[in-house]
Structure 1
Amino acid sequence: MTRPESSPPELASPATDGPAKRARYFVPRQRSKLRRWITANTQKTGRRIGRLLFDAEGHPRAFLRSLLFDAYQRPRPGLAGVIFKEPGRPRRPFANWLTGSDATLPPLVAGLPFPPPSAGRRSVVVVIENSAAPAAPLLRLLARDHAVVVLVLDGEPGGDAGLQDVAAVPVPVASARAPRAVLLDALAFRVRQDRPLFAVTVGLATIDAADALEQRNIPVVAVIGAADADPARHETLGPALELALERASALVFPTAAAREAALASMPRFAARRRLVAAQAPLEAGAADVLAIGREIGEELDGELSLILATEPERLEILDIPRENDPPGDVTRVQKLERLIADWRRKALLKRHPNRPPLRRPYSGFHPLIYAEHHPVACFDQRRYPLSHWIERGRPPGPWALPVFGPLPGPRASQLKSALHGHFFYPDLLPELLDRLTVNASRPDLFLTTDTPAKADEVRAMTVGYAGGVQIDVVPNLGRDIGPFLTGLRAALTGGGYDVFFHVHGKKTKGRRRAIGDPWRQFLWENLIGGAHPMVDTVLARLEASPEVGLVHPEDSHLVNWARNDRIVQELREDLALTEPLGTYVDFPVGNMFAIRPAALRSFLALGLEWEDYPAEPIPDDGTLMHGLERLLPMAARQAGFSTLAVRVPGTDWD
């Protein structure tokens, strides 16, 4: 059956109820032709210079390496800002080459007498200067249950007789050919291979070792000596004490007065936990050091086990191969360990949590929204958001979005459904029609395009479709949103349908063209069907859950508001949205979804007309369409509905 084509969209009557839209919505300024010319030529010049500075593999040429780096691929003094955007995050030209910098470390410690791993006993590492003797009581206590390795910086071999159960490794620092920072990093790199439960550093003189160990994801208890805690010495020891408070997982002070004096001089650390006062921590108070060490070590161990034990099927997204995976087969456990370590290091170095961009590690959970709501745990204490959420009983909140998967087979729905598809590129319509055939449901089709010739193509392709078909020619305005909200306003407000699906023939032009097909295929696979009947799946869930108003594919990418602050502010005012905004937002990325018309109430009440949409070509971000896309779940919640995500296991896009 084919429906008669609707009247031209400019004759459709606007909505009259609800908030009035503003006279004109913000449109970001397009770059001028001169600006585009300057950018293109600057990029061309940059590529030419890049070929002079970097070889075919993207590695800096010898003269550039000698100018910027030492022999260990570390920046020369004063040049870190040239090489790194922020601590630990190299600029793009150097990123590939610097991934191999760890290869320079093993030779620096290859001759040190590290003991072989101890079977059945977790190791503990202690770092001390000159001699292990002052820490002998602590070392003996640790050795009862752990394989203890003590790194004696600039210590004399054999100088610590009597500690038979402790492996003492003398480390000549002052006489080493490598700078102290590089040597300590090499030690931390080597120690990490043995997966110690925790480490202890003794005195502020070794706090740079604590920093190196923490950056390798080894939690450290920094023991502050009595002389280090003297308030009279805060002026000279201040930088080391500040580093200890900032980097070590736990600090043990010799007295409560010393702890309070340190916090009084540096009040920004007053909220830190695990700042313990223990009388004589290397001797009588050694048990306190052991207790807090086990606490921080077991907490880090528990992060991984908690996640792996809680609905492991939600981790299937980690099984999908990624371009940035290390070579060889990478297991789910290895990926999780890497994610936890990367999070801890970013928090340690005060780096931006989403640079480089993260992906969702666990279906139904947004780690960045959770971290933003729990900053003390996730940033100050460096807890991985997913494990902290699980540990607290998976509380509901804007970070948790329920997700459901496909039905085992086709099942027709009792709901009256329609599917709107906007096809600027009609050649993509056969793919959509083919995906519809795996479903028992046949929603009525409302198809829009921008020219009569394309409409004729669409008409020919839909001959024989089992449901109703309406084909409209609409202006090339508003991308896919204008044809939906403005072109189909009568159908959306007419009450004839329980659910509308909204899709579009997505292609991406220009330098990002490679993402268009995978993105569209991911969205259609999850929302329409392919391996599974997803239209039937979505309709079945909406039929069973009348409180749900919006369903969209779960995207693994974690997205913020980008350059949409201005347009989102305008739309929030016009839509009377009061829900608070965070930094990150969960929404139908790509703008394909299924929705009850009632959940669109506030959008439709704006009465958007064709002249409200910006003329093509539009900017990549910041327009009316980008703002509406991000605010859709919030508008659905305002209308009294909840939002769900749908996911076909094993699917994603890059």
Structure 2
Amino acid sequence: MIRPSATAPQQGTSDRETVLVLVDEIGAGGLPDRTRALLRALCAFVRPILVAQRYGKPPWRIGKAPWAEEAYAFPAQNYNASVKRFAADLVRHHAPAWVLAYGWENTQLVVELSERDVPILVFADYVSLNPNAEGQLGWASYFADRIVLPEAILLHAKFAFRAGASPHGALASRFRVFDAPEAIPKPRRFGGLLASRSDVGDRLDVARRLIEVGRQTVVERTRLAARLHRDAATIEAAGVFDAGLAVPPRDAADTQSAILAYLRMSHRLAPLDREGVGPILRRPMAGFHPLVYATDCAGFDYAADEDPFAHFLRSGRPKGRWTHQIIAPRADPVPRAELRVALHAHMHYPEFLPELLERVAINATPVDLFITTTSEERRAEIADFLDRAGIAPAMLLSEPSNRGRDIWPFLALLGAGAFAGYDVVGHVHGKRSPAHEAGMAWKDFLWRHLVGGPEAMMDRILAAFARAPRIGLVIAEDPHLESWAGNKAIASDLAARLGIAPPLPAYFEFPVGTMFWTRPEAMAPLVDLHLTPDMIPPEPLPADGTLLHALERLVPFVAEKAGFEVSAAYVPGCAR
């Protein structure tokens, strides 16, 4: 809850605009001198409200400071809900014209304030330059309307301005204003972890220039709000927006709020026809990829001040690489597919096999099981379970190690002709992902979409294969719009060997988690790579940037090269 401020704003400032000034946490040392100086300078022009995270129990408030202050400490439990309430209270009690995030790292609070249509201005006169970081200013800068950096930082850190990068001219030459962190030029070189401080001179002059940009940002945000509501009306009227896909489950919202949240995020990340924004933006509708549309659709132009999804709907939903067929559960009975079906299950974690077989049993179509594992002990454990369950697998093999994980056993079986005579082959595995806390949820998500529970999704998928000979690959419809990450160089080399014409597109659909259903002939070109286990890095495998991660992303290109189409299975309401 917002507490009444211990100090009141300067007399005579009641008619001035209110600006929330977000700063890093304040400990026993109190406010840094440069922060205190900037706040005092801002008081000459606006009514600043200092907002900071409080740690420990040191004296926090500043006796006779001419600005109001708000402190908070969010509990670990219900963290997101607490941030949301705090942001709502700030807006309701103070009605800020805009926000100045000064060295700010609490991304969640910045996001919540921005989603309440409060313009965000990031200002940094102290920047850590980490060569492994996504951006020099932290994730909060990705949600800012404007980013202001003193030119002294840029020069001192030896930044190289990219050709075509045109900072806004709103400030004098000692300051540069950017629309997004990607527009900030990268340093020419890194000397490990660097830190650059700037001498920004007279704080009164700094405050005056920040307010100039802040007020311009308010005008631009007003124009943006009109565009967002226009696009939101188009999307809502179409009736195809899927809040379960577009909004993370923890942030579930009504349709109107979810549409606006999606549009705000899409705008913050614009232009979408560049690499790097996929992991942040989510899918607004099953069967549609907004980043592919923004990249490939000749009729779409950002200069028209329009969201790609809204443009797609207004244009009559044109077909293209940005659309694909969706296979979803329905109320009517699914006809049994007259196909010969194999299911390859790689079980490095044999404890998941009973669950998988329960999901398979929900379906009516018979399948032949091909099970691989990674030691003789695990093979014996699986064999004992199958014997007690009365299940005879078509094949049960053990590899000497987990090198190559699930992909290598699948390719080995494919190359050995184990799937010859089968119309369709499924590939799943017991995903645990020790490096990712969400590994179990990911496995549940993929198995439900591709096998079943409670929906008989395997039957639905196989019926689609039987009905449409051009379908060569079915993947799970993932709400995230992942792309190459650190795998494009390896994938480009493999693609050239496969005869896939360059360049590889920035965005595309692929089986995230490497689970899918396919026709054997659609994956046959992978055998021609003549991969061997020694080409695969040993465990522990890096989280990204390996041959396996590149192959995961090349699967749809291989199917398309073989003359097939890619479809996706989607269970409404099941997202991650």
TM-score, with length taken from structure 2: 0.62
Distance between the aligned counterparts of 1:501 and 1:350, measured in 2? 33
Once residues 72 and 194 of structure 1 are traced to their aligned partners in structure 2, the CA distance between those partners, rounded to angstroms, is: 18
Separation in structure 1 between the aligned mates of residue 249 and residue 50 of structure 2, nearest angstrom: 27
Residue of structure 2 aligned with 1:359, choices 267, 279, 282? 282
**3-state secondary structure, aligned to 1:365:** coil
For residues 471-493 of structure 1, give each alpha carbon's deviation from its aligned partner in whole angstroms, at most 9, with x where no partner exists.
0112322110000001442235x
Residue in 1 aligned with 2:424? Answer: 499
Contact 1:347/1:382 (8 A) holds in 2? no
Residues 586 and 344 (structure 1), Cα distance of their counterparts in 2 relative to 1, 3 Å cut: same
Of 445-454 and 604-613, deviating more is: 604-613
Note the alpha carbon deviations across 1:273-329, whole angstroms, 9 max, x for none.
xxxxxxxxxxxxxxxxxxxxx9998764431122223243x5152587633x3xxx7
Instruction: Please tell me whether residue 482 in structure 1 is matched to residue 408 in structure 2.
Output: yes
- Aligned residue for 1:503, secondary structure, equals strand
Out of 508, 521, 526, the position equivalent to 1:603 is 526
Counterpart check, 1:472 vs 2:392? no
Q: More deviation in 595-604 or 572-581? A: 572-581
Matched residue, 1:620: 543
Query: In the alignment, residue 315 of structure 1 is paired with which amino acid?
Result: D
The answer on whether the counterparts of 1:364 and 1:402 sit within 8 Å (CA) in structure 2 is yes
Which of these residues, 448, 451, 460, is aligned with residue 525 of structure 1? 448
Q: How far apart are 1:383 and its partner, in Å?
A: 2.0
Stretches of structure 2 lacking an aligned partner (at least 5 in a row): 1-23, 40-47, 53-78, 102-111, 119-143, 147-167, 173-177, 180-221
Change over 3 Å in CA distance of 1:573–1:467 after alignment to 2: same
Q: Quick one: distance in 2 between partners of 1:351 and 1:491?
A: 41
Give the C-alpha shift of residue 571 in structure 1: 0.4
Q: Where do 1:177-576 residues align within 5 Å?
A: 239=170, 300-312=228-240, 315-318=242-245, 322-323=249-250, 325=251, 330-347=253-270, 354=277, 357-373=280-296, 379-408=302-331, 409=333, 411-463=335-387, 464=389, 468-476=393-401, 477-492=403-418, 495-510=420-435, 512=436, 514-576=437-499
- CA–CA separation in structure 2 for the residues paired with 1:358 and 1:349: 9
Instruction: State the alpha-carbon separation in 1 of the partners of residues 342 and 89 from structure 2.
Output: 58
Asked if residue 61 in structure 1 is aligned to residue 27 in structure 2, the reply is yes
SS in 2 for 1:368: helix
Select between 448-457 and 371-380 the one with higher mean Cα deviation. 371-380
Identical residues among aligned pairs (%): 34
Against the structure 1 CA distance between its residues 339 and 62, is the aligned structure 2 distance closer, same or farther, given a 3 Å change threshold?
A: farther
2:149 is aligned to none
Cα drift, residue 392 of structure 1? 1.4
In the alignment, the residues of structure 1 paired with residue 246 and residue 99 of structure 2 have an alpha-carbon distance, to the nearest angstrom, of 40
Question: Could you tell me how far apart the structure 1 residues matched to 2:480 and 2:335 are?
Answer: 31
Taking a change above 3 Å as real, the CA distance of residues 603 and 332 of structure 1, as seen in their structure-2 partners, is same
Task: Provide the alpha-carbon RMSD of the alignment.
Answer: 4.2
Displacement after TM superposition at 1:63 (Å): 4.4
The AA in structure 1 aligned to 2:411 is L
Partners in 1 of 2:283 and 2:463 — Cα distance? 26
CA separation of 1:376/1:319 partners in 2, compared to 1, >3 Å: closer, same or farther? closer
- 2:569 paired residue number: 646
In structure 2, the CA distance between the partners of 1:447 and 1:101, relative to structure 1 (3 Å rule), is closer
Where does structure 1 lack aligned partners over 5 or more consecutive residues?
Answer: 1-57, 76-94, 111-177, 183-188, 196-213, 217-236, 248-293
1:433/1:181 CA distance change after superposition, 3 Å: closer
Give the structure 1 partner of residue 157 of structure 2. none
Change in 2 beyond 3 A, CA 1:355/1:458: closer
Contact 1:406–1:648 (Cα < 8 Å) also in 2 = yes
CA distance in 2, matches of 1:180, 1:554: 37
Structure 1 residue 390, shift from structure 2 partner: 1.0
Q: Secondary structure at the match of 1:446?
A: strand
Matches within 5 A, 1:79-158: none
Q: Within 1, Cα distance between the matches of 2:362 and 2:99?
A: 64
Higher relative contact order (CA 8 A, sep 6+): 1
Q: Structure 1: how far apart are the matches of 2:312 and 2:529? A: 38
Query: Which is helix-richer, 1 or 2?
Result: 1
Q: Which structure has the larger Rg over C-alpha atoms?
A: 1
Cα distance in 2 for residues equivalent to 1:105 and 1:422? 52
Partner SS, residue 640 of structure 1: coil
Q: State the Cα distance separating 1:461 from its structure 2 match.
A: 2.1
Q: Counterpart amino acid of 1:481?
A: I
**TM-score using structure 1 length:** 0.55
| Equivalences, count | 410
For residues 585-596 of structure 1, the aligned pairs below 5 Å read 585-596=508-519
Deviations 1:502-550 (A, max 9, x none): 001110214x2x2111000000000011111111111000000000100
For 1:179 and 1:392, locate their aligned partners in 2 and report how far apart those are by CA, in whole Å.
35
CA deviation map 1:95-150 (0-9, x unaligned): 9999857865666669xxxxxxxxxxxxxxxxxxxxxxxxxxxxxxxxxxxxxxxx
How far residue 614 of structure 1 moved from its aligned partner, in angstroms, is 2.3
1:65 & 1:369 partners in 2: Cα distance? Answer: 46
Contact 1:426 1:458 in 2 (8 A): yes
Distance 1:413 1:357, change over 3 A: same
In 2, distance between residues paired with 1:410 and 1:468?
25
